[in-house]
Amino acid sequence: MNRESNMINDEQAVEIFKALSNQIRVNILQMLKEPNNNFSPQAHVIKEKGFDGGVCVSDIRSKVGLSQSTTSQYLSILLQSGLVEMKRIGQWTYYRRNEETIKQFEKYIGLKI
Amino acid sequence: MNRESNMINDEQAVEIFKALSNQIRVNILQMLKEPNNNFSPQAHVIKEKGFDGGVCVSDIRSKVGLSQSTTSQYLSILLQSGLVEMKRIGQWTYYRRNEETIKQFEKYIGLKI
DNA sequence: TTGATAATTTGCAATATCTCTATATTATTT
DNA sequence: AAATAATATAGAGATATTGCAAATTATCAA
């Protein structure tokens, strides 16, 4: 697949800046860098099922200390921006970083900012 | 001077993300990348006086199409974040990019995001 | 000193964001 | 089918952002 096609545009970049213009959302993204170090051993961190490193909403919620609904909403803002991706398995929704978007975002900063 | 000391922290980074969470402010920063290409020849782009590339508020205003007061306010948000620096010469205030902060911001993205 | 030009600050209305509680939805278990 | 658990959505009040016009401050020129 053509690598150029992954380059994010100005509009997407502003969406990402908005997503990151909140300390707690930045914290969430940072925590998800190392799920196994940042969440308790009994947390639902996926190791199989093809979504390695995914963490469920309630485990993220207990780390950030916000209400369940705010946590859910913040995760959907991160999802909309493309910085994370999610997969629903049973009654759980697992979120993990979308490293491809993050890489393209870094590239955007270097070239366009 | 110690390079480490220039590393921006999470709080500063969020300030920068806020500053960039607006398309027009991103545009201003992008325009200031190449002042001589992006502003009319008669624009007040500094070439001497030790602030090369600085552009005055009214020239920026006529490019972005916002009111004078909004333009001024947006520039002060960019200034607060550290992404630009300013110098007043006579009745004009010249703004230019702060490449050092931008470089440290890029570094932050790569290491911390 | 008076008037013109440049920029900042202030005040305002419209819209957006933050964060909560309450409720709805979806999936599991009994 | 009903109870339980995880997540999402709706709605509300407080706060922040957007962008303007008008007032204020600073500088220059005559």
Spell out the SS3 assignment of B46-96: CCCCCCCCCEEHHHHHHHHCCCHHHHHHHHHHHHHHCCEEEEEECCEEEEE
Of all residues in chain B, the one with the smallest CA distance to A22 is: B14
Which tops the pLDDT comparison, A105 or A45? A105
What confidence score (pLDDT) does residue B3 get?
Answer: 53
- Band of pLDDT at residue B77, cut at 50, 70 and 90: very high
Is A68 strand, coil or helix? helix
What confidence score (pLDDT) does residue A101 get?
Answer: 97
- Band of pLDDT at residue B50, cut at 50, 70 and 90: confident
Cβ atoms < 10 Å from Cβ of A29: 20
What confidence score (pLDDT) does residue B4 get?
Answer: 59
Residues of A with CB below 8 A from B102's CB? 113
Mean pLDDT confidence for B64-90: 97
Residue B22 and residue A10: Cβ atoms within 8 Å?
A: no
Share of chain B above pLDDT 90, in %: 81
**Radius of gyration of chain B from its Cα atoms, rounded to whole angstroms:** 14
Residues of B with CB below 8 A from A17's CB? 17-18, 20-21, 26
Evaluate if residue B93 carries a pLDDT over 60.
Answer: yes
CATH for B3-112, among 3.10.20.30, 1.10.10.10, 3.40.50.300, 3.90.1300.10?
1.10.10.10
**Radius of gyration of chain A from its Cα atoms, rounded to whole angstroms:** 14
Greatest mean pLDDT among A89-93, B7-11, B74-78 lies in B74-78
Nearest residue to A87 via CA among A52, A36, A35: A52
Which residues on neighbouring strands pair with residue B89, listed in sequence order?
B92
Residue with the two structure tokens 């030790």 = B50
Of all residues in chain B, the one with the smallest CA distance to A28 is: B113
Which residues on neighbouring strands pair with residue A55, listed in sequence order?
A45, A95
